[in-house]
Amino acid sequence: MFVRQANLPLCEEHFPWWFERKVERTLRRYKMVGPGDRVLVAVSGGKDSSTLLSVLAELSGKMGFEVASVTLDLGIGGNSYSKLSVETAETIARKLGVEHHTVSIKDKYGFTLDEAVRAVRRPPCSLCGLIKRYALTDVAREMGFDALATGHTLNDVARFLLSSYITASLAELVRLTPVSASELPGIPRRIKPFYESLEEHIKAYADLKGLKYLRDGCPYARTAPMDFLRSFLDGLEARSPGMLNAMVRGYVKHIRPALEAYLKDKLPELRPCSKCGMPSSGDVCAFCRMRERVLERLS
Ligand code: SF4
Ligand code: ZN
C-alpha cells in the first residue's frame, strides 16, 4: 500500500498499524472519547461503519473506553436490503466480540423507510438521514451511552462541505464538526472518528483484516442528491493527494469559527420536543412531524 498523501510505502503488516494510529490521533486530537466512556457505534454492515467498529474495538482496550454497536432495521427494499444489512452487522459484531443491538424502525416508530418514501414527498436519502439521525440518538440516549460514533469519512465530510456551500445551507455547514457536543442533558455527543480518514484507506484496512462487509448498495443510492460531487472530489484527490484533508482542515481551523461567530444569535436555540423530548428547534421536532404525516397516510 502506498499512502500517497504521506509519501509512505507500507507493507500488509504495517498498514493496519498505521491506520489505527491515524484514527487514534483523530480521537485524541478532537477529544472524542475519554477513559470509562461508553461508545455506541452505528453499523450498517457497509465498509465504513464495519471498519469503524473493528478499529474502535481494537483501540478501546488501550484507550480505556467501552464499545457496543447498533444496527437500525430501516425496512429498505421490501426488507431484503435491510435484512442483509442487519445480518452482516450482527456477524461482524459477533466475530469482534462486541455487544450488539438491532432496532427495527417499524417496531419502534410504526413505519419503515419504504412506507415513509411512499407517504411523504421527500427524497429517500433525505428521509433516511432524518430517521437515522433521530433513531440512533434516541437509542443511544435510552441505553445511557456517552457517545454515538458514526462512520462518516473524510470523503463524506468534504462532500457535505461542498454541497452546503453550493446550497448556502449555513446551519448545516456549521454542524460539520468532528464532535457534536451533547445538545441537551442526557443526549450523547456524536463523534466521527473517520473525520480524517480517506475511504481508500478504510477499504484497504477492511480488506487486509478480512472483514466481510456488505458490498451490495442500497436500492435508493442512485437517487442520492449531489452524488456527482463524490466523483468530482475523488478526481480532485487523485490529481492532488491530500487535497480533501487540506479542505476539511481549513474548514475546521478557519472557516467554521468565523461562521459560528457570524451565526451567533441567528440560529434558533435547541429545546426538548414537546412530544418526544429530543432536541428540537421548534415546539415539535422534524422527526415527530414527519412521523405523524406518515402514520396518518398509513392508517
Ligand atoms: Fe439511506 Fe440513501 Fe444511504 Fe440508502 S443510500 S441507506 S436511503 S442514505
Ligand atoms: Zn419529537
The predicted-structure confidence for 232-287, as pLDDT tens digits, reads as follows 999 999 999 999 999 999 999 999 999 999 999 888 889 999 999 999 999 999 99
Q: How confident is the model at residue 224 (pLDDT cuts 50, 70, 90)?
A: confident
Which ligand has the nearest atom to the CA of 135? 2
Task: For residue 220, give the nearest of 76, 119, 104 by alpha carbon.
Answer: 76
b/e for 64-87, b at 16 or more Cβ within 10 A?
Answer: ebbbbbbbbbbbbbebebbebbbe
Which ligand has the nearest atom to the CA of 273? 2
User: Average pLDDT, stretch 186-207?
Assistant: 97
CA pseudo-torsion sign 274, 278, 282, 284: negative
Ligand 1 lined by 128 (C-beta under 6 Å): yes
Distance CA 147, CA 41 (A): 9
Ligand 1 lined by 81 (C-beta under 6 Å): no
pLDDT over 70, % of the chain: 99
Which ligand has the nearest atom to the CA of 270? 2
Q: Max Cα separation, the chain?
A: 59
Task: For residue 156, give the nearest of 77, 47, 64 by alpha carbon.
Answer: 47
Residue 225, pLDDT above cutoff 70 = no
User: Average pLDDT, stretch 30-45?
Assistant: 97
pLDDT over 90, % of the chain: 86
pLDDT of residue 130: 96
Q: Ligand 1, residue 132: give the atom nearest the CA.
A: 1
pLDDT of residue 228: 85
pTM: 0.95
Ligand 1 lined by 151 (C-beta under 6 Å): no
User: Average pLDDT, stretch 136-160?
Assistant: 97
What single-letter amino acid sits at 75? G
Q: How confident is the model at residue 98 (pLDDT cuts 50, 70, 90)?
A: very high
Ligand 1 lined by 178 (C-beta under 6 Å): no
Task: For residue 193, give the nearest of 147, 259, 229 by alpha carbon.
Answer: 147
User: Average pLDDT, stretch 20-48?
Assistant: 97
Q: What is the mean pLDDT of the chain?
A: 95
